[in-house]
Amino acid sequence: MEVDNDMSKYKKLIFVCTGNTCRSPMAEVIFRNLDQESDILVLSRGLVVLFGEPVNPKTEVVLNKHDLEIKNHISEGLKDSDIDDRTLILTMTNAHKIRLLETYPNAKNVYTIKEYAGESGDVVDPYGGTLVDYEECYIELARLVKKTIYKLNEEYEREI
């Protein structure tokens, strides 16, 4: 289904985690792979990015295992300029959501990814864990991103 950018509720989706090297870039790549038709701009950002870093090597291994690529990713911190009224922000944890809302009072459409998908809880950070931990994170994010796409499509259908 093609989503017209001017008619959809959101024109930008930002996945947010702590350092923008594991969960949020993984969610961004999964979303882009699953939704190749809409015009929504999909980004990932971190709340604590002191300097640009490449994606975590274990994230890359897991993505490659699922025939997904993340090319030239360098971590980036969330900025005020990233956010407007048509930006949907999905955080990995409730703590991220709280911190984001405190830091960026202009952010309006902020949810945890599980909250947006109709679930509760946080997406556990695999950082420092095994490849199995990263794989489990991938499986969880793939399920949540699919639910996110379904919900965005439902919202779009209601608007037209």
Catalytic hit among 82, 84, 125, 133: 125
Give the strands of the sheet with 12-17, arranged side by side.
41-46, 12-17, 87-91, 109-112
User: Among all chains, which residue has been given the structure tokens 């975590």?
Assistant: 56
User: Among all chains, which residue has been given the structure tokens 């793939």?
Assistant: 142
CB burial of 64-95 (b: ≥16 within 10 Å; e: otherwise) equals eeeebebeebebbbbeeebbeeebbbbbbbee
Catalytic hit among 22, 23, 35, 45: 23
Q: Known catalytic residue: 23?
A: yes
Q: Known catalytic residue: 143?
A: no
Q: Known catalytic residue: 67?
A: no
Point out the residues that are catalytic.
Answer: 17, 23, 125
